[in-house]
């Protein structure tokens, strides 16, 4: 019976295959991690932009609500009627000057 000798100093096929598989998995993990980090940066930027938009819209809504409340105020209605429509209360007299 003959003994099969292995060459010493070299790596076996199985070891090389495991090493290559490890490298492939490591590259895949690094690529995936990089993609996740890019996506996180994009989403963070988009989140900041949406928060700014929400703040602007909230301010705009507050101004619209204030205008609505002011428009429902009787003093506002009277001031518009007097200035734009030249309306007066009974018994009042309007004096106009040349500047107006």
* Tokens coding 47: 């989140």
Task: Establish how many alpha carbons lie within 13 A of residue 77's alpha carbon, considering only the half-sphere containing its beta carbon.
Answer: 6
With beta carbons less than 8 A apart as the criterion, state whether 54 and 61 touch. no
B/e letters for 72-96, b = 16+ CB within 10 Å, e = fewer, are eeeeeeeeeeeeeeeeeeeeeeeee
pLDDT in tens, the chain (100 residues): 566 665 556 789 999 999 999 999 999 999 999 999 999 999 999 999 999 999 999 999 999 988 888 777 788 878 888 878 878 888 887 777 776 5
d(Cα 25, Cα 27) in Å, to the nearest integer?
5
CA dist 52 and 55 (Å) reads: 5
Distance CA 100, CA 98 (A): 6
> Is 0.75 surpassed by the pTM of this model?
no
């Amino acid at each position: 019976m003959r003994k099969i000798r292995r060459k010493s100093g070299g790596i076996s096929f199985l070891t090389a295959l495991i090493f290559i598989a490890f490298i492939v998995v490591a590259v895949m993990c690094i690529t995936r991690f990089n993609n996740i980090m890019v996506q996180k940066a994009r989403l963070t930027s988009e989140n900041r932009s949406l928060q700014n938009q929400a703040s602007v819209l909230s301010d705009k809504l507050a101004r619209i609500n204030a205008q609505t409340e002011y428009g429902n105020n009787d003093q506002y209605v009277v001031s518009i009627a007097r200035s734009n429509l030249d309306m007066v209360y009974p018994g009042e007299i309007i004096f106009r000057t040349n500047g107006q």
